[in-house]
Structure 1
Amino acid sequence: MKEQLLELSKQRRSIYALGRHLTQTPDELADLIKKGVKLAPTAFNSQTTRAVILFNDKHEQLWDIVAKRLESEVPSAEAYQKTLEKINAFKAAFGTILYYTDMDTVHQLENDFALYADNFYDWSEQAQGNAQFTVWTSLAENGIGANLQHYNPLIDDLVKEAFGIPDGWRLRAQMDFGSIESDAGDKDFMDDGDRFKVLK
């Protein structure tokens, strides 16, 4: 059995120690990311996933927004300092992808295919997972680390205003990426007997 995809999947890890020591240009990276989103499967070929790719000052601006917004959420100055250290690690990366779902498209599909109306949002979430996995694995194939964060919905309005995001786009995740400054370490897996059934 061929396992090239599985081998690439092993490389796709959550890397938190990221830097800016990449040989690829922002244009090359944006092209790779766009292809990953385009090629990821979606139910009804609905193509509901959107991506905003941030580099340089825009990348840093995002994490400054996150840091400022979280200051009012943490219980103490000490807790905020720990939060800030975490955010600064994301800011140290090369860039960030903001993953969105186009809710206008989801609602149009709900109207057009009433029989499946209850499913289209769930399917859009599956599309998000497909796109994120495809992009993440493509980055890993090129020696680029990434991790996935979910500061939505706390930051949604601020990010929308800062980057001119359309009203119908719903923020689902933030993926910062960059050079791998420290490996992820070993990964544990639950027992197959608790996870799978094989019926013959």
Structure 2
Amino acid sequence: MEKDLFTALRERRSIYGISKESSISDQRIQEIIEETVTHTPSAFNNQTTRVVLLLGEQHNKLWDITTEVLKALVTADQFSSTQQKMNGFRNGYGTVLFFEDQSVIDSFMEQYPSYQEHFPIWSQHTSGMHQLVIWTALEAEGLGANLQHYNPLIDERVKTEWKLPKNWKLIAQMPFGKPTVSVGEKKFNPIQDRIKVFK
């Protein structure tokens, strides 16, 4: 990695200006995802997160599908701004899709009935951890990314296009690429209002 963990975490931002270039190889991107999925924690070690990496034409296809779905839902006078957003995501190098395997969640709900109501919530926790780890790792390698949520509008089209299991629930989409814009300073609320320490 080009940056240490906390430097990458500090510099991670939602970057919408991304290009069809990458600062690292496709193999390295795949390694980041494999390491993340292997080592990111989950409740009861149930490993519910599933990740799909789309590169090249497969990445383009995702945003073409999303554009098509939205065009049918958005009024003509509003579609111009939607189209611009879609073009921005499509201009990236690739997209990471985050899913949660509902069959695993259901299985743990049956196995541990006293925790039943918590497993769907814990599933969202583990998905969020995977998203942050991949996002931060991409930042460390010089790539910019942002996180989108066009689910559930595109869920069925995505599952059909890439022949994914029906029990995979789409959680988020992360387009990424080499940044084409610089980002400003991030504003933070006072840390003393957000953390309490007792000794």
Taking structure 2 as the reference length, what is the TM-score of the superposition?
0.94
1:21 is aligned to 21
Long gaps (5+) in structure 1? none
Matched, 1:154 2:153: yes
State how 1:1-200 maps to structure 2 within 5 Å: 4-75=4-75, 77-200=76-199
Conserved? CA contact 2:24–2:141, under 8 Å: no
Conserved? CA contact 2:21–2:92, under 8 Å: no
Deviation at 1:41, TM superposition (A): 1.1
Conserved? CA contact 2:22–2:177, under 8 Å: yes
User: AA paired with 1:174?
Assistant: Q
Deviation at 1:113, TM superposition (A): 1.2
Deviation at 1:18, TM superposition (A): 0.3
SS in 2 for 1:149: coil
Q: Distance in 2 between matches of 1:23 and 1:6?
A: 20
SS in 2 for 1:44: helix
Deviation at 1:99, TM superposition (A): 0.3
Conserved? CA contact 2:19–2:180, under 8 Å: yes
Q: Distance in 1 between matches of 2:58 and 2:94?
A: 9
SS in 1 for 2:32: helix
Conserved? CA contact 1:97–1:176, under 8 Å: yes
Long gaps (5+) in structure 2? none
User: AA paired with 2:29?
Assistant: L
User: AA paired with 2:98?
Assistant: Y
Conserved? CA contact 1:37–1:134, under 8 Å: no
Question: In the TM superposition, what whole-angstrom CA distance separates every residue of 1:30-63 from its partner, at most 9, and x where no partner exists?
Answer: 1212212221111111110000100111100000
Q: Distance in 2 between matches of 1:181 and 1:98?
A: 22
SS in 2 for 1:166: coil
User: AA paired with 2:50?
Assistant: R
- What is the RMSD of the two structures over their aligned residues, measured on CA atoms? 1.3
Q: Distance in 2 between matches of 1:174 and 1:78?
A: 26
Deviation at 1:138, TM superposition (A): 0.6
Deviation at 1:64, TM superposition (A): 0.4
Conserved? CA contact 2:23–2:143, under 8 Å: no
Taking structure 1 as the reference length, what is the TM-score of the superposition?
0.93
SS in 2 for 1:140: helix
Q: Distance in 1 between matches of 2:136 and 2:48?
A: 20
Conserved? CA contact 1:37–1:135, under 8 Å: no
Report which stretch shifted further, 30-39 or 99-108.
Answer: 30-39
| Equivalences, count | 196
Q: Distance in 2 between matches of 1:183 and 1:20?
A: 17
